[in-house]
Every structure is written in C-alpha cells, then in structure tokens.
Amino acid sequence: MGYMPSMKDDMSHPVKLNRPVTRIVSLVPSLTESIALTRPSALIGATDWCTHPADLDVVRVRGTKNPDRQAIIDLKPDLVLANREENRELDIRKLREAGIPVWVTVIETVEEACASLRRIFAEGLQWEVPAWLDDVERIWLGPVPPIRARVAIPIWRDPWMVVGSSTFTGDLARRLGLDNAFGTHAERYPHVDLANIDLPDIDLVLLPDEPYVFGADDGPEAFHETKTMLVSGRSLTWYGPSLIDAHTELKAQLG
C-alpha cells in the first residue's frame, strides 16, 4: 500500500504512515502498556523502563533518554511512539531523518492523556478504541472532588525536586481532591529546599517509587513536620490502562 496523507501528532508534526500499522516501537512505558494490552502482536520494541505488562517479551532498545537508535532502525517499525517530556528531541529528530515515522505525545493533564491516546488509536493507528480507555475516561473525567488535603509530591532528592505546574501528576492529584502545594510554581519540576516541603501547612507528602525510588528507609526519615505516604509511581505518574487500578488504589491509601 502507498502512503496515506500526512497526519499530525500532538506537536503538530506531520506523520506519514503505511497502512496497516503492524510494527510499533514504544519509547514511553505508559504507551508501551497501552499498545501491549490492546494489540500485543503489533509491539516489537520497547525501552528497558517498560515494565508492564509483566510478561512483555519484545526487543529492548535501552532507555527513554538514551535509546539505541540503530536498534530501532533495524527493527523497521511502521511507527515509533514517543513523548515530549520523556524523550529527547535529538533522538526523535535522528529517527525521523532515518525515515522512521515518530508520533510524539504531549500530555500535561489526565484529559489530555485520554484525548491523546484516543487520537493515537482512532486516527493514527486506525484501530478500534479499546474498552479500557472508555473505562479510564468514565473513572477520571467526571466532576473534580472538593479539596481534601494539601500535598507535596517529590520526584527526586539531593537535590529535592517536586511536581510543579502543568503536569499530568499534578492534575491527577487534583482529581483525587488533593491540592498540590507547588502547583502554581513557574516550573514544572522545580528544585526546592527540604525546609520548604517539610512544613506544618502541608498535610501530606506523597513519595512515589519512580523516577526516584523512595522507600521506607529512603525518604520518610527526612520529614519531621509533615506526614509522608509511600505510593506507587506507576499509579501516580503513568497514563493508560494503569489508571483504572490507580484510582481505586490511591483512593484507598488516602482514606
């Protein structure tokens, strides 16, 4: 089959695809899981960070920030899925220069995540939109609940970094009734002093296990004024099928 007319990804970059799309490499864990649970036979490559589904058996192409571009090219994918935040512009550009179509997503809210995934399936891949995406929209896109707590969400320590403005995680927290203490910061992931997190007027510090692996002995011991809670980074930061269980899991933890 010949080329279809150019479509545009979330960054308005033209993407030309052969039809049908049967060979996909994903450079984003959330997108990897989304494809793997929808049409596993189409997924041929993913990063080392793509941990779900647990039985994922595809060619690994290193990390999100240092993908093995030649390995990707050698796989001859019909499409590579990427994300503006998680992947480097250099890698995306080099793959395109090698003739590999790349679809870049831009996701800063839960609503954008759902819309972006729907576009990938319906417009980009021209597949039937999976039922799990309908479930995600039903669960997450309803009325936003009233604020129940003021929180901070570190993503790194030494130096400490937190979730700031215009982030998927911040919007997800809002949809759980959580007010992000750094949600109006000028930066999306600002560096902050620990003293500005460990404050009495912050009700709770959520410590995810990715990208920094906070654990029982690494994170909570730093706080003396504010209660901490260890949470799943996948539940808090991934978009896609994980959002179904994430809603139940996080609400149960928050009480």
**For the segment 44-72, what is each residue's pLDDT rounded down to a tens digit?**
999 999 999 999 999 999 999 999 999 99
Given a contact cutoff of 8 angstroms between Cβ atoms, the answer to whether 100 and 63 are in contact is no
User: Would you say residue 65 lies in a domain?
Assistant: yes
CA–CA separation, 100 vs 23, rounded Å? 11
Does the structure show a pLDDT above 80 at 3?
A: no
User: Would you say residue 144 lies in a domain?
Assistant: no
Same domain, 39 and 76: yes
Side-chain-side CA neighbours of 91 within 13 Å: the count stands at 26
CATH code, 111: 3.40.50.1980
Q: What is the DSSP letter of 104?
A: E
Number of structural domains (the chain) is: 2
Same domain, 65 and 127: yes
Same domain, 41 and 127: yes
Tell me the two tokens of residue 186: 């000028």
Domain of 165 in residue numbering reads as 149-254
CA–CA separation, 34 vs 153, rounded Å? 25
Given a contact cutoff of 8 angstroms between Cβ atoms, the answer to whether 35 and 43 are in contact is yes
pTM: 0.92
Does the structure show a pLDDT above 70 at 2?
A: no
Q: What is the pLDDT of residue 5?
A: 54
pLDDT tens, residue by residue, 62-98: 999 999 999 999 999 999 999 999 999 999 999 999 9
| Average pLDDT along the chain | 95
**CA-closest candidate to residue 130, choices 38, 218, 231:** 38
